[in-house]
Amino acid sequence: MPPLMLLDLDNTLIDRNLAFRGWAAQFLQRRALPPVDLDWLVTLDCGGHLDRPTLMRATCERYGLAEDIDVLLREYRETLIRLIDCPATHREALRGARAAGWTLCIVTNGSTVHQLAKIHRTGLAPLVDGWIVSEEAGCAKPDPRIFRLAADRCGLAAGSGWTEETWMVGDHAPADIAGARLAGLRSVWLQHGRPWPETAYAPTLTARSLPEAVRLIVASVSEPASEPVGVSG
């Protein structure tokens, strides 16, 4: 059975936060609103974890805007897709992992249409063996079921022991790392300059970037599997 690498999408494979800042800057500029409020919008965004209708309603209330929320949401999604990018170094890391014999699958929470648009827009589709989005899966990270469904989609979960050769890479501790632990997987947390925020659980390894995370995982292929119990790297 080939080893399986599961990868988060937003702020792991793609810089979703940078794209949000781009949208926020355009939103303020088009309405002649104070550009210094960019940080207010970024804080409200919570790295994408605040639901979008709430974000738009709070923004309209702050500025006294009488704009249609559905129209704002549509414009937001269209703009974000245009601004999303996958760095060349990330694409090269994925090619290297596949050349080394790894099966790759994107596991992401969110809207199916929106997340698939990101995957195709950034050229990730031909670089991975599959993907699964929480909306169409009917479950979301950290639910262990979504990781099993990802393995199923890649044809690797039919037999026992698939978890022993599977890693999860992500930036969000409660979804990616807690989810990996619940599913019995090893994990790499992308720290993005942050300290580890939890005490009840920890990633197997930490990394500064997606390429570094992939290198650490590929290098581990000859090591025996172990329960994810500590932070290193």
One digit per residue, pLDDT tens: the chain, 233 residues? 789 999 999 999 999 999 999 999 999 999 999 999 999 999 999 999 999 999 999 999 999 999 999 999 999 999 999 999 999 999 999 999 999 999 999 999 999 999 999 999 999 999 999 999 999 999 999 999 999 999 999 998 766 689 999 999 999 999 999 999 999 999 999 999 999 999 999 999 999 999 999 999 999 875 544 444 344 44
Q: Which residues contact 63 (CB under 8 A, 6 or more apart)?
A: 31, 33
Q: What is the pLDDT of residue 230?
A: 41
Dihedral sign, CA of 92, 180, 130, 9? negative
Q: What is the pLDDT of residue 14?
A: 98
User: Which tens digit of pLDDT belongs to each residue from 176-193?
Assistant: 999 999 999 999 999 999
Please report the beta strands in 79-153, taking only residues with DSSP state E, as ranges in sequence order.
103-108, 130-133
**187 forms bridges with which residues in the sheet?**
168
Q: What is the pLDDT of residue 222?
A: 54
* Residue 119, burial from CB neighbour count under 10 angstroms (0-12, 13-18, 19+): buried
Q: What is the pLDDT of residue 159?
A: 65
First to last CA, the chain: 27
Q: What is the pLDDT of residue 227?
A: 45
3-state secondary structure of 5: strand
Q: For the domain with range 4-14+86-222, which CATH number is right: 3.90.170.10, 1.10.10.10, 3.30.930.10, 3.40.50.1000?
A: 3.40.50.1000
Whether the model pTM is above 0.85: yes
Q: What is the pLDDT of residue 2?
A: 86
